[in-house]
Amino acid sequence: MSTAIEIDDLSFAHSGADLPALERVSFRISAGESVALLGPSGAGKTTLLALLDGRLQGWSGRVSVLGAPLDPDRPPPSARRPDTGFVFQEFALVERSSVLRNVLNGRLGRMSPLRALLGSPTKHDLEIARTALADCGIADLAECRVDSLSGGQRQRVAIARCLAQEPRLILADEPVSNLDPARACEILALLTGAARTRGATALFSSHQPDLARRFAQRIIGMRDGRIVFDVPTSELNDDATAELYREVGPIPGIGLRAVS
Amino acid sequence: MAFRGFGGIATSGLIAAAILWSFATTDVEFSRLLSAGPRIADFFGRMFPPDPTVMAEIKKGSAETLRIAILGTLGAVILSVPLGILASETMVSPAVFRPIRTLLAFIRAIPLILVAMLMVGAVGLGPLPGIIAVAFHATGMLAKFYAEAIDGVSRAPIAALESAGAGPLVRLRYAIWPQMAPVVARDTIFRFELNLRESLILGIVGAGGIGFYIQTYVRSFQYDKAASVTIAVVVMVIAIEAINVALRRRFT
């Protein structure tokens, strides 16, 4: 089975930070796997996902995504970026644009720059966007402006945009943290289901162990920028989870907290 | 607290010193104000009743002022789009936006009337120097506003489009523009209103518009005609302001 993500001895510190955001992280994810990154806020999940998306530079170690090594000093070439899709925690949608326009924005990296700039998507682009909308259950919202939508609807638009990109790897940063439990299950089922039917690899972060258990085949536990455990979902025991969320004494600036 | 107290006293002292200095060194004779009363009354007396026979000149002058303001604003928009992009920290590096911002500050510092006088010298009398002067002068402010509009948008959608593989211009078109469009519309309308007000005086230096008639009538002591033109100017400014208020409400 081919490899989707390979990380070896990765360390990274945000500029000006005292403590590293990621410390000696190593793991490998095979193509087609659904993996959850579990850990409290401040564990380094968002940093790791942004780094895999090519948005962070200045790290050390070796990282390879979809078979191509990432350069620690510069972002990946635009031609490679559509292969990695990202679902942002705060949706990152263009509020004043329509749902369809936002989903088509996911196609921009797949179009020629001129076609993208002129705003003339091909029939193929439109078809993919419509399919993504339908898969996310929001086909009827296509013409609505995003600023008129609810949180759950916005999350669906964000996922549809990611799917329209036709990524081979889907990275999702806390895709359900803003939703109530029932919506959270729907969205995660949608995300992991869409990844499976498209043969894409999915890596999503969460701070809710029960959701991670339900929707991932494998769970990587993170705390303080380190990997604490990396196990198949069936082998995850409550002690390991409890250890992940154990309260430490208050350390200013680290913002570790138990999750309800 | 003690420091703030000291700062407050120092500030008050400075302001008082500046006012005293202005009185002491300027040739201000308040006695002249006392004798001005009858003359001002005479001046207003000669303005009434306003002479309505100058309607043709008013129409011609207002239309020209309006054209100067419209074309001047158009020119400023055309110049401000590229300059605004080059002055924004979202789109370019500090090596580019710093010198461009300095250039815009320099343009803003040159008074419109000075630019107009230079342009009259360069291209001759008429509305053309006025249009060029308004376009040049307004660009200093409008390009700065556009840059601020670009920098004021939410960054997350820009990062999302970059992550999807979209280049800088495509990001500007689909992530930045939809967010900044209402701000650009509001700023441009605001600048148009300013351009109209400021271009009223252009006629005084021969750069076209209704100001020419005010100057002509005042210099030739035809105050009743000057009064008619002044009323027309006030009506025009109030009308444009009312239209702008209505438009601006739509864009917020």
The DSSP code for A145 is: B
Predicted pLDDT at A200 = 94
DSSP string, chain B: -HHHHHHHHHHHHHHHHHHHHHHHHS---THHHHHHHHHHHHHHHHH-S--GGGHHHHHHHHHHHHHHHHHHHHHHHHHHHHHHHHT-TTTS-HHHHHHHHHHHHHHHHS-HHHHHHHHHHHH-SSHHHHHHHHHHHHHHHHHHHHHHHHHTS-SHHHHHHHHTT--HHHHIIIIIHHHHHHHHHHHHHHHHHHHHHHHTTGGGGTSSSTHHHHHHHHHTT-HHHHHHHHHHHHHHHHHHHHHHHHHHHHT-
Q: What is the pTM of this model?
A: 0.78
> Does B169 sit within 8 Å of A82, measured CB to CB?
no
Predicted pLDDT at A189 = 92
Chain B CB within 8 Å of residue A89 CB: no
Residues of chain A in contact with residue B172, where contact means CB-CB under 8 angstroms, are none
Nearest to B164 among A90, A105, A113 (CB): A105
Chain B CB within 8 Å of residue A76 CB: no
Q: Distance from A236 to chain B by nearest Cα, in Å?
A: 33
Residues of chain A in contact with residue B174, where contact means CB-CB under 8 angstroms, are 94, 97, 101, 105, 108, 119
Nearest to A94 among B163, B174, B182 (CB): B174
Residues of chain B in contact with residue A93, where contact means CB-CB under 8 angstroms, are 157, 160
Structural tokens at position A144: 């609505």
Predicted pLDDT at B188 = 93
Structural tokens at position A164: 């329209």
Residues of chain B in contact with residue A86, where contact means CB-CB under 8 angstroms, are 160, 163
Chain B CB within 8 Å of residue A181 CB: no
Q: What is the largest CA-CA distance in chain A?
A: 58
Asked if residues B140 and B107 have their Cβ atoms less than 8 Å apart, the reply is: yes
Which residue from A minimizes the CA distance to B170?
A117
> Does A101 sit within 8 Å of B163, measured CB to CB?
no
> Does B178 sit within 8 Å of A94, measured CB to CB?
yes
The DSSP code for A164 is: H
| DSSP 3-state of A254 | coil
> Does B166 sit within 8 Å of A78, measured CB to CB?
yes
Q: Count other Cβ atoms within 10 Å, centred on residue A17.
A: 10
Structural tokens at position A107: 């196609």
Nearest to A108 among B159, B174, B181 (CB): B174
Domains and their CATH numbers in chain B: 54-250 (1.10.3720.10)
With CA atoms as reference, report the closest residue to B223 among B38, B33, B42: B42
Chain A CB within 8 Å of residue B15 CB: no
> Does A161 sit within 8 Å of B174, measured CB to CB?
no
Is B163 buried (19+), middle (13-18) or exposed (0-12) by CB count in 10 A? buried
The span from the CA of A95 to the CA of B175, in Å, is 9
The DSSP code for A75 is: P
Distances (CA, A) of B20 to A179, B7, B12, B17, B23: 66, 20, 12, 5, 5
Structural tokens at position B225: 């005609």
Chain A CB within 8 Å of residue B160 CB: yes
> Does A119 sit within 8 Å of B173, measured CB to CB?
yes
Q: What ipTM does the predicted assembly reach?
A: 0.86
Burial string for B66-85 (b: 16+ CB within 10 Å, else e) reads bbbbbbbbebbbebbeebbb
Which site among A65, A70, A83, A94 would you substitute to test the B interface, given the most B Cβ atoms closer than 10 Å to its Cβ?
A94
Q: Which residues, 6+ apart, have CB-to-CB distance to A29 below 8 Å?
A: A3, A4, A5, A6, A35, A201, A203, A218
The span from the CA of B219 to the CA of B236, in Å, is 23
Asked if residues A201 and A3 have their Cβ atoms less than 8 Å apart, the reply is: no
DSSP string, B162-227: HHTT--HHHHIIIIIHHHHHHHHHHHHHHHHHHHHHHHTTGGGGTSSSTHHHHHHHHHTT-HHHHH
> Does A81 sit within 8 Å of B165, measured CB to CB?
yes
| Ordered strands of the A226-232 beta sheet | A84-87, A169-172, A201-206, A34-38, A218-223, A226-232
The span from the CA of A178 to the CA of A215, in Å, is 17
The span from the CA of A258 to the CA of B145, in Å, is 45
Query: Tens of pLDDT along A216-243?
Result: 999 999 999 999 999 999 888 888 888 7
Q: Give, for all 252 residues of chain B, the pLDDT tens digit.
A: 455 678 889 999 999 999 988 887 767 677 777 778 888 888 788 878 888 888 888 899 899 999 999 999 999 999 999 999 999 998 899 999 999 999 999 999 999 999 999 999 999 888 899 999 999 999 999 999 999 999 999 999 999 999 999 988 899 999 999 999 989 998 999 999 999 988 888 888 888 888 888 888 988 888 889 899 999 999 988 998 898 888 878 766
Is A252 buried (19+), middle (13-18) or exposed (0-12) by CB count in 10 A? exposed
Chain A CB within 8 Å of residue B169 CB: yes
Residues of chain A in contact with residue B169, where contact means CB-CB under 8 angstroms, are 113, 117
| DSSP 3-state of A170 | strand
Interface of A with B in 138-177 (CB under 8 A): 161, 165
Residues of chain A in contact with residue B178, where contact means CB-CB under 8 angstroms, are 94, 96-97, 101
Query: Tens of pLDDT along B103-126?
Result: 999 999 999 999 999 999 999 888
Which residue from B minimizes the CA distance to A167?
B164
Predicted pLDDT at A260 = 44
Q: Give me the residues of chain A with pLDDT under 50, please.
A: 255-256, 259-260
Cβ pairs A/B, distance under 8 A: 82
The span from the CA of B225 to the CA of B177, in Å, is 48
Q: What is the largest CA-CA distance in chain B?
A: 76
Residues of chain B in contact with residue A171, where contact means CB-CB under 8 angstroms, are none
Interface of B with A in 177-206 (CB under 8 A): 178-179, 181-182
**Domain ranges (residues) in chain A:** 3-244
Predicted pLDDT at A33 = 93
What is the CATH number that goes with domain A3-244? 3.40.50.300
Predicted pLDDT at A86 = 95
Structural tokens at position B103: 């250039």
How many alpha carbons fall within 13 Å on the CB side of residue A41?
Answer: 10
Nearest to B163 among A53, A94, A101 (CB): A53
